[in-house]
């Protein structure tokens, strides 16, 4: 008899817990559903910090193709599709730049505009709230700022506009200078 009551009690408690969990799940809504028709999102993109490979170490990215490239792997077909280039000299000098940059870019590449120090134009919280391409409409990206950012200012958000006029943001999540594979890790959102 005692065993029957124990089993009934456990079944009752389990039922209450299950119903409680189920009803909580039903009331949660995801207000940050991404509009994939107007926004492209790339997660955990890496840019190399390995100076032994020079500027030929996965420092270029195409938001059209969703792929990183080494400078030596760029051909006539991919050249016009590269819109992000990363440069790092040391832990105090990092920045994103236009693919046609005269010093470290690629000859005949397209032009992009970067704001490496957005001065509160976009915070990390703002970046996370971007769910559609029109979220970039009110952000003015007209001229390069040529500022750099040190490792100590990461995480950070960099704004850009590519040659096609599409606005985007790069959320620099982490930097890894020590070890086998020195790199920065970013998320990128850009208008379609």
| Cα 92 from Cα 115, distance rounded (Å) | 17
- The pLDDT of residue 32 is 56
Which residues, at least 6 apart from 23, have a Cβ–Cβ distance to it below 8 Å?
A: none
- The pLDDT of residue 56 is 56
Q: Dump pLDDT digits (tens) for 81-136.
A: 999 999 888 887 889 999 999 888 888 999 999 999 877 789 999 999 999 999 99
Q: Dump pLDDT digits (tens) for 18-49.
A: 343 433 333 233 345 778 899 999 999 999 88
Per-position DSSP letters for 125-189, written without gaps between them: HHHHH--SGGGGTT----S-----B-GGG-SEEEEEE-TT--EEEEEEEEEE-SSSS-EEEEEEE
| Cα 120 from Cα 138, distance rounded (Å) | 14
Q: What is the mean pLDDT of residues 151-160?
A: 90
Least confident of 12-16, 41-45, 148-152: 12-16
- What Rg, from alpha-carbon coordinates, does the chain have? 23
- The pLDDT of residue 53 is 60
Domain positions in the chain are 39-191
Question: And the tokens for 71?
Answer: 């400078």
Q: Which of 14-23, 48-57, 78-87 has the highest mean pLDDT?
A: 78-87
Mean pLDDT, rounded, of the chain: 81
CB 189 within 8 A of CB 63: no
- The pLDDT of residue 41 is 97
Q: What is the mean pLDDT of residues 156-172?
A: 95
39 against 72, higher pLDDT:
39
């Amino acid at each position: 008899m005692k065993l029957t009551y124990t089993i009934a009690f456990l079944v009752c408690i389990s039922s209450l817990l299950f119903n409680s969990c189920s009803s909580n799940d039903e009331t949660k809504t995801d207000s940050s559903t991404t509009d994939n028709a107007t926004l492209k999102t790339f997660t955990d993109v890496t840019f190399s910090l390995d100076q032994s490979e020079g500027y030929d170490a996965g420092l270029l990215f195409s938001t059209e193709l969703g792929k990183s490239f080494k400078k030596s792997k760029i051909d006539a077909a991919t050249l016009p599709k590269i819109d992000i280039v990363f440069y790092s000299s040391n832990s105090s000098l990092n920045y994103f730049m236009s693919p046609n940059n005269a010093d470290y870019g690629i000859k005949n590449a397209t032009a992009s505009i970067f704001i490496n120090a957005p001065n509160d134009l976009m915070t990390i919280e703002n970046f996370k709230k971007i769910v559609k391409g029109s979220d970039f409409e009110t952000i003015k990206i007209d001229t390069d700022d040529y500022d750099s950012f040190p490792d100590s200012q990461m995480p950070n958000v960099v704004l850009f506009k590519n040659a096609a006029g599409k606005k985007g943001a790069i959320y620099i999540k982490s930097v890894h200078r020590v070890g086998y594979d020195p790199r920065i890790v970013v998320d990128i959102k850009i208008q379609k």
